[in-house]
Amino acid sequence: MSRHRLLLAALAVLAGAAPLVGAAQDHATDRSQDRVQDQGFATAQLSEPTRRPPADVGAMKTSFSPVVKRAAPAVVNVYARRTVRQRVDPFWDMFGGGVPRERVEQSLGSGVIVRPDGVIVTNNHVVEGGQEFMVVLHDRREFPAKVLLADARSDLAVLKIDTGAERLPTLAIDDREDLQVGDLVLAIGNPFGVGQTVTNGIVSALNRTDVGITDYSFFIQTDAAVNPGNSGGALVDMDGDLVGVNTAIFSRSGTSSGVSFAIPSAMVRRVVESAVGGGQTVVRPWLGVKSEPVTAEIARSLDLPRPEGVLVADVYPNGPGARAGLRQGDVVLSVDGGAVNDTAGLNFRVATKRPGDTVTLAVLREGRQQTLKARVEPPPASPAKEEHTLDGQNPMNGAVVANLSPASADELGLDPFAGPGVVVTRISGRSYAGSAGFRPGDIVREVNGRRIQSTRDLLAALGEPARGWAVTIERDGRLITGQFRG
């Protein structure tokens, strides 16, 4: 769905090893700790940590075992199964004699129990395309699972298993964002289907936004060994709390090269909350601003000592940012104290909030820093979608189109500032529109010189008698015109 999915071949998403064909209370830190129940799943509330290197050789012989004992029982294996029909011999198909065979494909990933009633979080790409799902607990018991919510944009999915009245072990979601580069972490999952495995490493980097894995890129990078099958598994800190969900590796071979990425627990919490609240999708708020990174050149033009923050390029009329007083030319430095240095970082920090939350923005305006309060809300869904499947003798026959609004643009990974227009949401089956080259996400701008601002405009333009059609679309910010015969 997202344009960010066009990655370098070196970036391997850990979608559960190679497909398996066939049916086949000690702490390492000095933190004091309390646990509470929030929204039904455990939450870590910790004091400011004390960090120090090992004091002597004896300290270097300490073990991660207490952390593993606490965390490992809450990490599970996730199996997704689907049945596909496969041709036996294409030659006999031409004469109607080919009998397709059914083949069962099974993929493997990992997951984390985040609520004692059997709510489990994993990666969306682990369950995507699956028809049946099975969860294997730490003690080897197996349970069928159902998908409560699958969110491709964050690459997270929430599953539910039924264990009756039994309370399962859980990992507390630590979303306080106090991780620092150099902190020790453990990765727990099921690489290559060999069984639950624990590896250790350090946090190599934070807030990675340029790796192109999901729409909301803001990853924890670690050097803990992570391999196919680890997808959806836990990244835990030295208190045994969940700080991230392992998602992808950067590798030229498809195996661990010491560069892996995890989705931060702040996003994990937001998706889980949506799922247990009965939502079928994650409703994300936005700030209503269009931004760009502050480059060295921009920093010089603004008399900034160094490049930092994001420059507000546009403000949506009457949006949350506009009502908060944001203006074009402002530099947003942080959201609720969390620094932002690019658009992806700004979007992530806002997207982890609940609709209706108030965020504190540190803003630089004309050399002065000031604080603004913004009440973030979902993008407006106006105009109404008015979705139509196009038919008739025209080049867009078979395309499903809808009115473009900030909400529909955000849902499709498009620019919410794209303005009024009509967007192709999908192509139905084998259709002329698909053969003609139209794609989901295309914005129809003109038909035979007529400006298109609504589905009504498009239906009227395509319904007019014509010997041919000149259709102009916007794709990835570029205007493309196609000529089609009548």
Q: Is the pTM of this model over 0.85?
A: no
Q: List, for residues 90-115, the tens digit of each pLDDT value.
A: 555 555 555 566 666 677 899 999 99
Q: List, for residues 19-36, the tens digit of each pLDDT value.
A: 333 333 333 334 444 444
User: What class is the 289-375 domain?
Assistant: mainly beta
**What CATH number was assigned to the domain covering residues 388-485?**
2.30.42.10
Going by pLDDT thresholds of 50, 70 and 90, the confidence category of residue 258 is confident
Return the structure tokens found at 457: 């405009």
Q: Judge whether 251 counts as a catalytic residue.
A: no
Which helix (H) or strand (E) is 272 found in, with range? helix 265-276
Q: Which amino acid is at 324?
A: A
Out of 151, 155, 237, 241, the active site residue is 155
State the pLDDT at residue 175: 82
Residue of 300, 189, 193, 311 lying closest to 244 (CA atoms): 189
State the pLDDT at residue 32: 40
Q: Judge whether 231 counts as a catalytic residue.
A: yes
Looking at the predicted structure, is the pLDDT value of residue 3 above 50? no
Q: Judge whether 428 counts as a catalytic residue.
A: no
Going by pLDDT thresholds of 50, 70 and 90, the confidence category of residue 85 is low
Q: List, for residues 172-181, the tens digit of each pLDDT value.
A: 998 887 899 9
Distance CA 190, CA 71 (A): 14
State the pLDDT at residue 24: 32
**What CATH number was assigned to the domain covering residues 1-48+69-282?**
2.40.10.120
Q: How many CA atoms lie within 13 A of 7 on its CB side?
A: 18
Looking at the predicted structure, is the pLDDT value of residue 134 above 60? yes
Question: For the chain, where do the domains classified as CATH 2.30.42.10 start and end?
Answer: 289-375, 388-485
Instruction: Tell me the average pLDDT across 309-331.
Output: 95
Out of 110, 125, 151, 175, the active site residue is 125
Looking at the predicted structure, is the pLDDT value of residue 150 above 70? yes
Q: List, for residues 368-394, the tens digit of each pLDDT value.
A: 999 999 999 999 999 999 999 999 889
Out of 231, 251, 274, 334, the active site residue is 231
